[in-house]
């Protein structure tokens, strides 16, 4: 069969036997279906798929560097190169695993991002103590009339910075943790600490 231009209009103009022959030519298998609209749609889909596949160039083979023969120093250097952070690990299996994970995109690559904090942000400082110590501190705090542990820690830090000659840092502690001076509470600078 002579080549017919692949357009919907030209295919619709063909008679059923010609359309079935075109289907066999493009799709690669014969059909006996009498549905012209279906045949036109399938021929156009197959032609589009064939054109897309033909346009794709075969991908160049990926060159991978084997880590099996690398020394610990070479693996650490490769870790720095690929992941972007140094490592102190000397475990060969771990270093190989990390490099595989980075290659697959399963771990974060690049330097550790530092979170930028605004002037209105409130940060929580970790402070771990044994439960009996905390209970004793809470008893003393209540006897001193302090409303919260946070108030106790602010006053203690304020006093420490004043005594250490860090008055500028101590002045920042005049603000409460919520950014204000607190309702009805005496500013820390006036409080006995």
**What tokens does 148 get?**
């919260």
Residue 122's contacts (CB-CB under 8 Å, 6 or more residues apart) are 177, 178, 179
Paired tokens of 53: 């596949």
Domain edges within the chain: 8-55, 72-104, 131-190
Residue 35 has pLDDT above 60, yes or no: yes
What is the band of 145 on the pLDDT scale with cuts at 50, 70, 90?
A: very high
Residue 93 has pLDDT above 60, yes or no: yes
Average pLDDT over residues 160-184: 71
Q: How confident is the model at residue 135 (pLDDT cuts 50, 70, 90)?
A: very high
State mean pLDDT over 137-152: 92
Token code pair at residue 108: 């974060």
- In whole angstroms, how far apart are CA 94 and each of 24, 72, 85, 87? 56, 11, 15, 11
Residue 156 has pLDDT above 50, yes or no: yes
Q: What is the pTM of this model?
A: 0.36
Q: Are 161 and 155 in contact (CB under 8 A)?
A: no
Instruction: Find the mean pLDDT for residues 67-82.
Output: 89
């Amino acid at each position: 069969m002579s080549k017919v231009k692949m357009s919907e209009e030209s295919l619709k103009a063909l008679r059923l036997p010609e359309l079935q022959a075109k289907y066999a030519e493009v799709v690669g298998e014969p059909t006996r279906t009498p549905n012209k609209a279906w045949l036109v749609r399938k021929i156009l889909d197959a032609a589009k798929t064939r054109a897309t596949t033909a346009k794709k160039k075969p991908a160049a083979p990926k060159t991978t560097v084997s880590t099996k023969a690398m020394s610990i120093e070479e693996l650490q250097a490769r870790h720095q190169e690929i992941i972007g952070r140094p490592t102190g690990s000397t475990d060969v299996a771990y270093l190989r695993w990390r490099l595989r994970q980075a290659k697959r995109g399963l771990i974060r690559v690049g330097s550790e991002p530092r979170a930028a904090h605004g002037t209105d942000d409130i940060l929580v400082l970790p402070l771990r103590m044994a439960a009996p110590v905390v209970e004793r501190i809470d008893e003393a705090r209540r006897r001193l009339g302090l409303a919260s542990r946070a108030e106790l820690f602010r006053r203690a830090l304020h006093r420490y910075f004043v005594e250490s000659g860090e008055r500028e840092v101590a002045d920042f502690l005049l603000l409460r943790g919520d950014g204000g001076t607190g309702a009805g509470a005496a500013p820390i600078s006036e409080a006995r600490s």
